[in-house]
Every structure is written in structure tokens, then in C-alpha cells.
Amino acid sequence: NGDNLPLAFAAVDKEGRLMGSAALKRFDMACFPEYEYWLGDVFVLPQFRGLGVGRQLVSFCLDKAHELGLPHLFLYTPDVQAVYEKFGWKEITQTWH
């Protein structure tokens, strides 16, 4: 279940340098109280972009959400909707946050 959220995950390279991070959260946006579980804080450092790090972080979070039995996962992105569409995400509304 999602009782232990938030959970943050980090991607590191072979030398232990941070490459990026992502998190699973609850009630991430106060303006959407009806949406409980969220993918958030997905970030890849500029020097590691284009290497699949973000894809691996998102995939890991989706697997973890499934493992936890989270029924639905939401996210907010102001500018990279196409990235998440590749994972099957569908836009449900447009808002500025």
C-alpha cells in the first residue's frame, strides 16, 4: 500500500555519482485532492540526459507502484508530455501549477 509514501529513488553511475531521481508520492497537488498517488520529482542531471536514465527511473517507479498495489498513478508535467505518453500516460486535464 502507499502508507510509506513518499519514496524517493536515485540513479547513480558506476562511480556513485548522482545521475537523476524520481519519487512516488501521495496527494502531491493540493488542487487535485481526488488524485492520491503520484509520480513526481523526475529529474535527470543535464550531463546524463539522452542516456535512458529518466526512462529507467520512470520504469522503476511504475514497477514499484505496481508492487505496492497502488491503483492509479498520476503526474504533472508542464512540458514533456510526449515522454510520458510512451509509457501509456494519457492527459486528463491541462492546468498551470
Residue 1 clears pLDDT 90, i.e. is over it? no
pLDDT tens digits for range 62-81: 999 999 999 999 999 888 88
Domains of the chain, each with CATH number or no CATH? 7-85 (3.40.630.30)
pLDDT tens digits for range 6-50: 999 999 999 999 999 999 999 999 999 999 999 999 999 999 999
Q: What is the Cα–Cα distance from 66 to 68, expressed in whole angstroms?
A: 5
